[in-house]
């Protein structure tokens, strides 16, 4: 059984690109949702503070106009000024790092500055402990409408208001000015207002959370789909497919094409279990994929036990031949290392050709990016008419490589449709690029 190196990516990892455990993905999504909710809360608190400032001015003006006594006007102005000042401070804190880190404290501060602070001021100034239910209800409905997140702090704000009132009531022990039925009625209205506000915030936040996770799931699915597409087509071609729906086809005047074939693999397939055979071939081709990425070469496809790659497209290159030559030499070394580590005796036969090609995407189902032209045919013939364990190149490739690589003249070979062609065997690099 063949055991690939631990550093090799599995096929699934390659498809989804740097895949991470589901638990880590879920944790990241949870943190992302919390951060989005915190950002939303801060923005809405700024809006609430602005509305409270404007609303406070109108209420101050009303209370000053309503009070017939000068002393009452002064008290109304002082209470309103305290609330406005506190609201202004909270608004400013929303724009600081403290406010962005602890927005729930600003939420409670804005709420209690209206509900508790006003109740305390009225109790101290006028010895009046009538519950300010109208103000409380307005505050809670405002926050439930403008800041519909974190239902827990809405409930805490409401409970805190009631606790504050009860403490004042116990301290002052006033006599009731209305009938018990009046307070029961007001209490019921207030109770159901609080329940409806908290429940509506809970439902809204639950909906927003579902929408957030659904959107993120869609984004992850799109990323996986794009990674699958990038494993089939070059990145430039994927971008073209996104932008246009017409046939994609381009001509390239000079590219270098490589064909590689594992010698004796067909015979091996007749006496090797299918699972082991596929694992073996996948391990070798994964090594070739890594080499293609390292040398900037575009893998085109595999056909059985044959491997096809090209340099110079879809991004045009000034020196495609050296890139393919370096990859071919490294492929030989990779196979030799593989044989040594796995007690095998594989050899590969490689053919290289340089020249013009036409490249494009064909098909509607299982579409592929492919090449056409004499250059492709010659590269295929260089491989099929080559020598096991050798790299055979055509005359055009030889002219581009002869100054920096050691090549051995093999001689003329007959190529179908082209007649006799001079060929060379690539041995090694003599001048580093």
Q: 306 in the Ramachandran plot: left (φ > 0), alpha (ψ -120 to 50) or beta?
A: beta
If 0-12 CB within 10 Å is exposed, 13-18 middle and 19+ buried, where does residue 72 land?
middle
Coil vs helix vs strand at 80: helix
Residue 7 token pair: 């550093």
CA distance 140 to 378: 79
Q: Is the dihedral of CA 320, 324, 330, 334 positive or negative?
A: positive
* Final residue of a structural domain among 156, 190, 225: 225
Our count of domains for the chain comes to 2
Q: 234 in the Ramachandran plot: left (φ > 0), alpha (ψ -120 to 50) or beta?
A: beta
Residue 280: inside a domain: yes
What average pLDDT does range 136-148 have in this prediction?
A: 92
Q: Which residue did the predictor score with more confidence, 59 or 203? A: 203
Query: Which secondary structure element, helix H or strand E, spans residue 165, and what is its range?
Result: helix 151-172
Do 80 and 209 share a domain, yes or no? yes
Average pLDDT of the chain, as a whole number: 82
CA distance 253 to 358: 9
Residue 4: inside a domain: no
Do 153 and 285 share a domain, yes or no? no
- Max CA pair span of the chain: 118
Residue 8: inside a domain: no
CA distance 359 to 330: 26
Do 242 and 210 share a domain, yes or no? no
Do 187 and 269 share a domain, yes or no? no
Q: For residue range 341-400, what is the model confidence (pLDDT) as tens digits?
A: 888 888 899 999 999 988 888 766 767 778 888 999 999 999 988 888 899 999 999 999
Residue 281: inside a domain: yes
Residue 349 token pair: 């036969």
Q: Give Cβ neighbours of residue 414 (< 8 Å, ≥ 6 apart).
A: 420, 421
Residue 148 token pair: 């519909």
- Closest C-alpha among 42, 21, 26 to residue 216: 26
Q: For residue range 228-264, what is the model confidence (pLDDT) as tens digits?
A: 766 666 666 666 666 666 666 678 888 999 999 988 7
Q: Which residue did the predictor score with more confidence, 230 or 17? A: 230
Do 182 and 288 share a domain, yes or no? no
Coil vs helix vs strand at 366: coil
Do 296 and 417 share a domain, yes or no? yes
What is the CATH number for 243? Answer: 3.30.70.1230
Measured from the Cβ of residue 378, the count of other Cβ atoms closer than 10 Å reads: 27
Residue 7: inside a domain: no
Measured from the Cβ of residue 170, the count of other Cβ atoms closer than 10 Å reads: 8
Do 275 and 215 share a domain, yes or no? no
161-169 CB contacts, 8 Å cutoff, 24+ apart: 161/111, 161/112, 161/115, 161/116, 161/119, 161/136, 164/112, 164/115, 164/116, 164/119, 164/120, 165/119, 165/129, 165/131, 168/119, 168/120, 168/123, 168/129, 169/129
Do 133 and 258 share a domain, yes or no? no
Residue 134 token pair: 């109208």
CA distance 249 to 241: 11
C-alpha gyration radius of the chain: 38
Q: Is the pTM of this model over 0.95?
A: no
Do 273 and 377 share a domain, yes or no? yes
Q: For residue range 398-411, what is the model confidence (pLDDT) as tens digits?
A: 999 888 999 999 88
pLDDT over 60 (residue 423) = yes
- Residue 259: the pLDDT is 94
CB 324 within 8 Å of CB 297: yes
Do 220 and 275 share a domain, yes or no? no
Residue 85: inside a domain: yes
Among 71-80, 83-92, 109-118, the minimum mean pLDDT is found in: 71-80
* Final residue of a structural domain among 192, 225, 258: 225
CA distance 240 to 237: 5
- Residue 71: the pLDDT is 66
Do 135 and 77 share a domain, yes or no? yes
Residue 5: inside a domain: no
- Residue 256: the pLDDT is 93
Residue 251: inside a domain: yes
Do 218 and 351 share a domain, yes or no? no
* Final residue of a structural domain among 225, 248, 274: 225
CA distance 408 to 410: 6
DSSP 193-253: HHHHHHHHHHHHHHHHHHHHHHHHHHHHHHHHHHHHHHTTS-HHHHHHHHH--SPPEEEEE
Domain that holds residue 257: 235-429
CA distance 24 to 21: 5
């Amino acid at each position: 059984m063949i055991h690939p190196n631990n550093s090799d990516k599995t096929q699934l990892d390659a498809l989804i690109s740097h895949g991470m455990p589901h638990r880590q993905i879920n944790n990241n999504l949870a943190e992302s949702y919390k951060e989005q909710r915190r950002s939303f809360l801060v923005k809405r608190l700024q809006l609430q503070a602005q509305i409270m400032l404007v609303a406070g001015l109108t209420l101050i003006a009303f209370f000053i106009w309503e009070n017939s006594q000068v002393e009452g006007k002064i008290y109304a102005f002082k209470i309103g000024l305290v609330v406005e000042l506190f609201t202004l401070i909270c608004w400013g804190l929303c724009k600081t790092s403290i406010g962005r880190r602890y927005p729930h404290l600003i939420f409670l501060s804005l709420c209690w500055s209206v509900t508790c602070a006003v109740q305390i001021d009225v109790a101290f100034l006028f010895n009046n402990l009538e519950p300010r239910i109208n103000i409380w209800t307005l505050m809670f409905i405002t926050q439930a409408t403008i800041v519909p997140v974190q239902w827990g702090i809405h409930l805490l704000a409401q409970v805190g208001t009631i606790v504050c009132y009860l403490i004042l009531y116990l301290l002052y022990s006033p006599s009731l000015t209305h009938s018990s039925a009046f307070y029961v009625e007001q209490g019921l209205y207030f109770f159901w207002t609080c329940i409806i506000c908290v429940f509506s915030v809970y439902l809204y936040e639950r909906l927003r959370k579902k929408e957030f996770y659904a959107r993120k799931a869609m984004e992850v699915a799109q990323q996986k789909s794009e990674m699958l597409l990038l494993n089939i087509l070059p990145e430039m071609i994927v971008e073209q497919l996104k932008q246009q729906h017409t046939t994609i086809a381009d001509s390239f005047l000079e590219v270098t094409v490589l064909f590689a074939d594992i010698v004796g693999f067909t015979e091996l397939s007749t006496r090797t279990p299918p699972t082991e055979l596929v694992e073996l071939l996948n391990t070798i081709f994964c090594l070739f994929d890594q080499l293609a990425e390292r040398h900037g070469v575009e893998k085109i496809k595999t056909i059985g036990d044959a491997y096809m790659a090209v340099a110079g497209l879809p991004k045009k290159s000034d020196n495609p031949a050296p890139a393919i030559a370096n990859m071919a030499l490294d492929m030989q070394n990779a196979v030799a290392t593989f044989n040594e580590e796995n007690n095998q005796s594989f050899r590969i036969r490689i053919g290289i050709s340089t020249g013009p090609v036409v490249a494009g995407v064909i098909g509607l189902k299982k579409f592929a990016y492919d090449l056409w032209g004499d250059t492709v045919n010659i590269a295929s013939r260089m491989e099929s008419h080559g020598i096991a364990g050798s790299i055979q190149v055509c005359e055009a490739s030889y002219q581009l490589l002869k100054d920096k690589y050691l090549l051995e003249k093999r001689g003329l070979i007959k190529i179908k449709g082209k007649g006799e062609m001079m060929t060379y065997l690539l041995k090694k690099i003599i001048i580093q690029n």
